[in-house]
Amino acid sequence: MGRSQLKKKITTTKPDPKAPPAPLPPPLNVALLAQADALLSKSEYDLARRFVVFVLARHPSDPAARELLGIAQMRLGERDSARSTFKNLLTPTRGGIFPPAPSVYLHLADLSDDPQEALAHCRSAMEILSMQLKRKTDVRALGFNLRLFIRTDGPDIEKLQADLIAVLLTQVDIWVERISHDPDVYRICESLLREALEIDPGHLTVLHRLGKTLIAQDRWSDAKEYLSQVALRWQGMTVDDPQYPSLPHMLGVAKIFVELPERLFSPAQALLLIKAVMKADIDEAEAWYWESLCYFLMAEQARKHKDELSREELEAVARESLAMCSLMVEQMPEGKRSGILCKRIEALLEELDAAARAVEAEKERAIEEECARERKRVEEEKRRVKKKMTIDWSEDVEAELFL
């Protein structure tokens, strides 16, 4: 009898196959989403989606999981599915977060075919970020004691400011790339970039983009002001500085310095930035090309000032840099070679060869002119001697007659 009762107590019911999976413990849930995020950064999009689907089967309303699902769909090229996933996040749900993360609006902006709709999504993200930033700054102003009674979780002020600048830069990209036909495009971009500078007056990317925008409006002196700030801040930073710009950004700024008219920056100033790029990555082939171009432009300046020795030395260094660039390009796999860079190498080599031919022609011309001057001097000397001999002979004859 006792054994029968004990058997009844330990008997368990079989799980219902139609029942939803049991929720995951919070730490495991977070760990799986972190793993999915890491897989996305490694371009393992399909595997990342499997992790996210596993979490969503147990936590259907998890906003972080739903956003990661949309990102995976977007990276896999499933634009319609991704758009639907992100739009569903804009609708309040039980257990969800509202308003949604600003990044959801930015994903929708990327997926929008209509640029005006994309800008509207960016403005929605701006509103949420601005509201969060205001709350954070207000709490900071209240002081430590009052902050104990106010919820202050979420991103810190610096992160929110960086996100706001990123949204403003996204709007600039939309205007430049998708609404470039608008006559006010550069004026609007300037306004957005100045708004970003109010958040962070020393932001290198914003200063760089504002300089380019002003150049597009032919406002050269204004552009020089902001681009000079970029150069000064950049040269004062160390490579381990967390705000040190990325290599593509550095190279982009350096190229502007090289390509702008000399009334803004000299080739020597541009060369300083190119050297900084090469210090960060000596194997950057394009940097070697721009270094070569700087030396060539400096050689042209020396030629104008009749400094032949400096010109020859600078052209020799330009050839060495260009040869290194060409060698690096040749060693690249076929699919990674830049056709534009190859054409630039050929064009600069032709200019160097043309300059060398011009120098040789100039030397030959100088030799011919020197020979002509020498022949003229010899002829004049002959005439002088002959004339003197004639005079001397006449004097001798006259003297003999008087004797």
pLDDT at 340: 86
Q: Is residue 163 part of a domain?
A: yes
Q: Is residue 28 part of a domain?
A: yes
Q: Are residues 113 and 195 in the same domain?
A: yes
pTM of the predicted structure, to 2 decimals: 0.72
Q: Is residue 340 part of a domain?
A: no
Q: Are residues 136 and 195 in the same domain?
A: yes
DSSP states of 358-369 as a string?
HHHHHHHHHHHH
pLDDT at 255: 85
| Residue 69, number of CB atoms within 10 A of its CB | 24
pLDDT at 8: 42
Note down the domain range covering 36.
23-95
Q: Is residue 36 part of a domain?
A: yes
Which residue reads 């400011």 in tokens?
161
pLDDT at 67: 92
- Which amino acid does the sequence have at 187? R
Q: Are residues 51 and 109 in the same domain?
A: no
Q: Are residues 160 and 114 in the same domain?
A: yes
Q: Are residues 70 and 118 in the same domain?
A: no
Q: Is residue 351 part of a domain?
A: no
> Distances in Å between the alpha carbon of 233 and those of 208, 244, 261?
11, 10, 22
Question: How many domains is the chain partitioned into structurally?
Answer: 2
Q: Are residues 83 and 157 in the same domain?
A: no
Q: Is residue 367 part of a domain?
A: no
Q: Are residues 121 and 197 in the same domain?
A: yes
Among the residues of 20-91, which ranges form H helices? 26-41, 45-58, 63-75, 79-88
Q: Is residue 61 part of a domain?
A: yes
Q: Are residues 33 and 87 in the same domain?
A: yes
Q: Is residue 262 part of a domain?
A: no
Query: Consecutive sets of 10 residues in the chain, 403 residues long: mean pLDDT of each?
Result: 44 50 64 90 93 89 90 94 92 68 93 94 94 80 48 71 94 94 94 96 92 91 88 79 79 83 78 86 90 92 80 92 93 81 92 86 78 80 71 56 52
- Which amino acid does the sequence have at 74? M
pLDDT at 11: 44
Among the residues of 281-338, which ranges form H helices? 285-304, 308-331
Q: Are residues 50 and 117 in the same domain?
A: no
CA distance 27 to 216: 52
pLDDT at 145: 46
Q: Are residues 107 and 196 in the same domain?
A: yes
| Residue 24, number of CB atoms within 10 A of its CB | 17
Sequence-ordered list of residues with C-beta below 8 angstroms from that of 65, at least 6 positions apart, any chain: 33, 36, 52, 55, 56, 59
Domain containing 58 — which CATH number?
1.25.40.10
Q: Are residues 163 and 184 in the same domain?
A: yes
Q: Are residues 91 and 105 in the same domain?
A: no
